[in-house]
Structures are given as C-alpha cells and as structure tokens.
Amino acid sequence: MPRTHTSSFRIEFGDCDPAQIVFYPNFFKWMDIAALHFFNACGIPSWRETKAERGIIGAPLINASAKFVSSATYPEPIEVDTSVAEIRGKSFVLRHVIRRGDTVLVEGEEIRIFAIEDPADPKRIKAVPIPEDILAQWV
Amino acid sequence: MPRTHTSSFRIEFGDCDPAQIVFYPNFFKWMDIAALHFFNACGIPSWRETKAERGIIGAPLINASAKFVSSATYPEPIEVDTSVAEIRGKSFVLRHVIRRGDTVLVEGEEIRIFAIEDPADPKRIKAVPIPEDILAQWV
Amino acid sequence: MPRTHTSSFRIEFGDCDPAQIVFYPNFFKWMDIAALHFFNACGIPSWRETKAERGIIGAPLINASAKFVSSATYPEPIEVDTSVAEIRGKSFVLRHVIRRGDTVLVEGEEIRIFAIEDPADPKRIKAVPIPEDILAQWV
Amino acid sequence: MPRTHTSSFRIEFGDCDPAQIVFYPNFFKWMDIAALHFFNACGIPSWRETKAERGIIGAPLINASAKFVSSATYPEPIEVDTSVAEIRGKSFVLRHVIRRGDTVLVEGEEIRIFAIEDPADPKRIKAVPIPEDILAQWV
C-alpha cells in the first residue's frame, strides 16, 4: 500500500493567472496526470489498451479534493507524490502530495473507480470491480 | 445567506477527453468562473478594480472539493448554482451545484479567502479579513 | 458562401495570464468552438452522431493561423464571426473574426478536412471528401 | 541565428479530445512554453524579472500559425525545436518544429514583439524595440 510514485512538472507562465499564481484547476490537471503515471508505474497500460483488453475506458472520479497549503508560481519545478491511501469496495483513494522541494503546496485526494461504457447508454459510464491483478499490487 | 446566483455554460467538444466525458478539472474551472460571477452579482467588481481600490488581488482557494454524481458530455448545457454556505473567520465556503436541467452532475465546495500581495514577498499572497461591506451581504 | 455564424463568449479571469491579457492559445480554443457552432448552424450534428451515421469523427485541422490585432482581457464579452472562405478539394477554409464590439481582436483562419478513423491504424485519422449535402450549403 | 533550443513534453490523456487526438490549441500551448524555454536558453529571465528590470512584461504574439502534418495522441513523448527564423524591425519570427522522434507533427511559427504596459492604459500593451543585448545573440 505505501508504494509511492513521484511525477515531476514545471509550472509554466500559461499555468498562472492574472494574480500571478497557479490557476487552481491546473493542480487537479497535474493530479490527474500523476494518477495516470502512478497507474502506469503499477503496470496498467494506457486506457486505449485497457479498453481493448478489458473494456475499461478509464478510472473516472467519484470525488476530488485539494487543500491549498502554499501558493506557487512560474517558473518553479514541482513534484507530485502519489499513493493508494485506501480501498473502499469498487472505489479507491489516491493521495497526492504536491511539493516544491520540501515545501508542500497542495494535499490532494482523488476517489476513483474503474469504468466501462454503460451498455445501456454509450454516452454514460459504469463502475466495475477493481481488477484482481491490480488490487493484488495495492493491498 | 441563501442568496444564490446561477451561471450557465455549454459543455464543448474540447472540454471532453478521450473517454468522451468532461475532463474533470474543467468542472473546477466552471466553479471558479461561477464564483466570480457570484461575486459580481454581490457587487464585487473585477479583481483589477478591487486591487486598485483595496489591494485585494482575488479570492484564492484554501480548499476545493467536488463529488461527481453523474457524468456529462458535449454538447450539453449546464448550470451552476452558487451560494455562501458558511463563514469561518477570514475564510468562507462557497457551495456550487452543477446541474444539467434537474440532474445534479457535481456537488462542489470551495473555501476561499480574500487576499492581498504579501508585502514581504510579492510573489506570494496573504489573507485579509472579509471586507465589512461584502460580509454584510452574506450574513 | 457568405453565410456567417456568430458565437458569443465572455473572457474570464482564468483565460488570462500573468501579463493580464488572454493566454493566446485560448483564442484558438474559441475558434474551435466557433467552428463547431458554425457546423451545427449548417445542420451538421455532433461528431458523435456523424461518427455513428457516416463514420466522420470530426473536422481536424490542416492549418490554423491567427493575426492578433488588439489585446483583450477579462471580463470582456467577445464575439466570433465564422464563415467558409474557400473550398480546396477535400479541405475548406474557415474564417473567424474575433471582435469586442466593433474592435477586431483577432483575424483567424482554420483549414480543415472531414476525417474518419484510419482503417489501417485506429490511432490515426484519414481525410474524406466533403459530404455533398454539406458542400451544397457552402457553395 | 540557427541557435535551436529543444523542449520536451509528453502528450497526456487530458491533452486529447473525444476524437482521441491532441486537442489542437494544446499545440500552441506547447509552442508558447517552448518559446519561453528558448528565451530562457538565450539568457532572458522570467517576465517577472524583465518587468522589474526593463518594464518588459512579455513577448506577446502578433501572429501564430501551425501546419498540422501528422496527428498525435497519448501517451507519446514529443519534442519542439525552436529557433529565430527572421527579424522584422520590432518583431521577430520564432519557428517551432514539433516532432515525435523523427516524425514531424506540426510546423509552427510565432511572430512576437517585446511589450511593456501601455502607459496610456495599463489594461493594454505596447511594443518596444528588441533589446540590443538580446538582438546581439540572434543576428
């Protein structure tokens, strides 16, 4: 469970807003990318491949939250430490700590499920149990 | 306190991801815009004007969270109902309900403060008390 | 050919960068949305429906360009006037004039094709002739 | 003049649209970042510092264009080769070649100026001559 993957980013000019600091939805964008890098580090391939192999189109969010601890601006390198904090039936909690060096900027959490296209309506999605082989790596 | 402002958006193709649904950080972008529209509806002008008049550069986030209830895709019109849910000293809680018609898509919450540039470091920001004239409208 | 469709947007705080003006890729985002609104106004449904009906997954770009005439910032309402400027075999030229009232901000041009998934590689796309019924509206 | 700086990016899931390929305004976002990395490689610091030192708030666009040669999708690493192609009085042409390995994806061009805040209207900007020390590196 304590397996942690660290993703690195660089805050760019265009990531910041007229108040000179990161436009906050971008922190969620970095968490989303960090989640994918974490999945890849756990051996899960791209959603394109999981869709072809198992019908899984992605790991959409049930809940996302972030506590903004310190502001950040460009051009600063940042890192995101991602780990599975908890398993809750079909859903799981990813914890993301976004840091600039040792300074914590954001403490984030994403609750996700693995999803397939809803057979009843291809415009919608549907949760499936966490695949055994993935779960085996996390618990 | 129950004053509610409704902002309208339209989910566009480019707001959606390869899973055909809204790329989730965009929901926070809409909440951020809805917050600004709410502030404007309460008589708060643009941050450019508040900076010139009172030094306030914006209302940055302390915390943001979203519960994703239903998925959404393009081209669908959505509405965001924004209200002040709570005052907590210098911070306040904005509640955002994102709907497609009567279907709730996202239940969001933003905890914000009003901020000035940190006199000690213009790259950083600093909280100030909620201005009396604004507070008077909310409680 | 002179059929023009006008789309309306509002420049938001988060669309602007630390120089206080619109982060320029956003002008292309608005052109892309304006192109879709133009297509819809011409009777072309969403790409989801065209994919189901004719295999057409979208109208990807061959070329995009913009001349930035005046800068713009938030909170300003803008309008985009979109029309077909030229047909060139499988491709066509969309002209976008982005205005704030009577002030031209951007003169943009997109050269697009209609595309299907490449049968040889579903990760890639392939141009198809402009469908007759669409062409009939434009010439 | 042939000084070329190469910036590296990774196409992420959220950079792609429902047609499974890069949402095209993102290519301009990468060109913008590549331009800044190029400026930094030429010894130009962040716009925050140039503003404090010389009043220059950035190098806004006069014109931007892109020829889309090959489509791209996630998760693919890409590189952008940036160089000054031409000097035209106060403006200069940046050439960006976006590649996936040896495959050219986009041939882009940005015409930029160096700008200060317009003394007559701080919401607008104004071109200044290319500073001698920067020009000396480019010609």
B98-139: pLDDT as tens digits:
999 999 999 999 999 999 988 888 777 889 999 999 999 887
pLDDT in tens, C56-99: 988 999 999 999 999 899 989 999 999 999 999 999 999 999 99
Q: Note whether A13 contacts D20, CB cutoff 8 Å.
A: no
Shortest distance between the Cα of D30 and any Cα of chain C, in A, equals 9
- C75 upstream amide cis, omega within 30 of 0: yes
Mean pLDDT of chain B: 93
Look at residue B1 in the predicted model and tell me its pLDDT.
52
Q: Note whether C75 contacts B12, CB cutoff 8 Å.
A: no
Instruction: Inform me whether the pLDDT recorded for A22 exceeds 80.
Output: yes
Q: Which residue has the higher pLDDT, D77 or A47?
A: D77
Look at residue D53 in the predicted model and tell me its pLDDT.
94
User: How large is the average pLDDT for residues A78-107?
Assistant: 97
For chain D, the chains sharing at least 3 beta-carbon pairs closer than 8 angstroms are A, B, C
Instruction: Inform me whether the pLDDT recorded for B53 exceeds 60.
Output: yes
- List CB contacts (< 8 A) between A73 and chain C: 18
User: How large is the average pLDDT for residues C47-62?
Assistant: 92
Closest alpha carbon within chain B to C13: B33
- List CB contacts (< 8 A) between B47 and chain C: 13
Mean pLDDT of chain A: 93
Instruction: Inform me whether the pLDDT recorded for A2 exceeds 60.
Output: no
With cut-offs at 50, 70 and 90, classify the pLDDT of residue C2.
low
Look at residue A78 in the predicted model and tell me its pLDDT.
98
Q: Which structure tokens are listed for B82?
A: 């924004």
| Distant-in-sequence contacts of C41-44, Cβ < 8 A, 24+ apart | C41/C5, C42/C3, C42/C5, C42/C134, C42/C137, C42/C138, C43/C134, C43/C137, C44/C134
C-alpha angle D78-D82-D84 in degrees, rounded to nearest 5? 170
**Among C10-14, C127-131, D118-122, whose mean pLDDT is lowest?**
D118-122
Question: DSSP secondary-structure letter at B131?
Answer: P
Look at residue A98 in the predicted model and tell me its pLDDT.
98
Q: Which residue has the higher pLDDT, C82 or A71?
A: C82
Which residues of C fall below an 8 Å CB-CB distance to A? 13-14, 16-18, 20, 23, 25, 48, 73-74, 123
With cut-offs at 50, 70 and 90, classify the pLDDT of residue C1.
low
pLDDT in tens, C3-47: 899 999 999 999 999 888 999 999 999 999 999 999 999 999 888
Look at residue A77 in the predicted model and tell me its pLDDT.
97
Look at residue B121 in the predicted model and tell me its pLDDT.
84
With cut-offs at 50, 70 and 90, classify the pLDDT of residue D44.
very high
Q: Note whether D18 contacts B74, CB cutoff 8 Å.
A: yes
- List CB contacts (< 8 A) between A46 and chain D: 13, 74-75
Shortest distance between the Cα of B135 and any Cα of chain D, in A, equals 29
- List CB contacts (< 8 A) between A14 and chain C: 17, 23, 25
Look at residue D90 in the predicted model and tell me its pLDDT.
96
ipTM confidence = 0.92
CB A63 within 8 A of CB B65: yes
Q: Note whether A66 contacts B64, CB cutoff 8 Å.
A: yes
User: How large is the average pLDDT for residues B82-89?
Assistant: 96
Strand partners, A29: none
Which residues of C fall below an 8 Å CB-CB distance to D? 18-21, 23-26, 28-29, 32, 47-48, 57-58, 60-68, 70-71, 73, 115, 123-125
With cut-offs at 50, 70 and 90, classify the pLDDT of residue B46.
confident
**Among A120-124, C78-82, D57-61, whose mean pLDDT is lowest?**
A120-124
- C119 upstream amide cis, omega within 30 of 0: no
Closest alpha carbon within chain C to B29: C14
CB B118 within 8 A of CB B81: no
Look at residue A94 in the predicted model and tell me its pLDDT.
98
Instruction: Inform me whether the pLDDT recorded for B93 exceeds 90.
Output: yes
Instruction: Inform me whether the pLDDT recorded for A124 exceeds 80.
Output: no
With cut-offs at 50, 70 and 90, classify the pLDDT of residue B20.
confident
**Of A17, A81, A102, A118, catalytic:** A17
Instruction: Inform me whether the pLDDT recorded for A8 exceeds 90.
Output: yes
Mean pLDDT of chain D: 93
